[in-house]
Amino acid sequence: MSDDRLIVALDVPNIIAGMDLVNKLGETVSFYKIGLGMLTGGGLALADELKQEHNKRIFLDLKLFDIGATVEAAVKGIAKYELDFLTVHGDPNVVKAAKEGAANSDLKILAVTILTSLDREDLNENLYKPGNISDLVVERAERAFKAGADGVIASPLESKKIRNLSSASGKLIVTPGVRPKGAELGDQKRISTPRDAIQNGSSHIVVGRPIVKSSNPKLAANNIVNEIKS
């Protein structure tokens, strides 16, 4: 049995590899994330096929950022595919434009606060204001919610603080960097287990390599589903 709080990151290069993994996972997984890495490998076509023909939910992780009119137009086009989640950068003007573009559709707009690949030195280079990154993430989440975001992407470190914001009531918090006990960390540093992430207030978890690279992806996914259901 699936649980749509588990989103599997389809981090494979093309449609063929994507369909192969989806077939292996079968009914165990109902929600997939398709990102920029598969854009030139037919990512949007795969998203459409999984949604329309396989009844899967789809999170399109495109992290859009542009002037309002362009973001609105892009989201309007994407909304026609009847997908479920889309990421944009969490700047309030970008979020507002994305919500305009998604009007009259069920597409949820998720805001990226600060990329976890950036440290304070990078933020200085990028002219972000001074302050502790974790506090800035929470502040950006709050601003994104006020601009109308349906949810945010948050690391396990910040999801609890964000869940406690009054503006987060009823909002989605989608958390990558999730590792079942004993799984390899890969390049993820700020991790939590599936159960901890859900207990800390995440509405969904995104898991890639522990499932995608497993010798038995279905078993790996099934173990995570059981963990979050228990």
The residues that are catalytic are 63
Nearest distance from C-beta of residue 220 to ligand C5P, angstroms: 11
Residue 77 or 186: the one with the smaller Cβ distance to ligand C5P is 186
Residue 163 or 209: the one with the smaller Cβ distance to ligand C5P is 209
CA angle, corner 99, sides to 143 and 198, nearest 5? 60
Site for ligand C5P, rule CB under 6 A: 9, 11, 35, 116, 153, 155, 176-177, 186, 188, 206-209
- Which phi and psi angles does 180 have, rounded to 5°? -60, 155
Nearest distance from C-beta of residue 81 to ligand C5P, angstroms: 20
DSSP-derived letter for residue 216 is S
Residues 120/133, Cβ–Cβ less than 8 Å: yes
Within a 10 A sphere around the Cβ of 57, how many other Cβ atoms? 18
Angstrom CA distances, 197 to 31, 154, 215, stand at 17, 10, 25
Nearest distance from C-beta of residue 20 to ligand C5P, angstroms: 17
Angstrom CA distances, 16 to 13, 71, 207, stand at 8, 30, 20
Nearest distance from C-beta of residue 7 to ligand C5P, angstroms: 9
Residue 72 or 223: the one with the smaller Cβ distance to ligand C5P is 223
Among 218, 150, 224, smallest CA distance to 181 is for 224
Residue 34 or 107: the one with the smaller Cβ distance to ligand C5P is 34
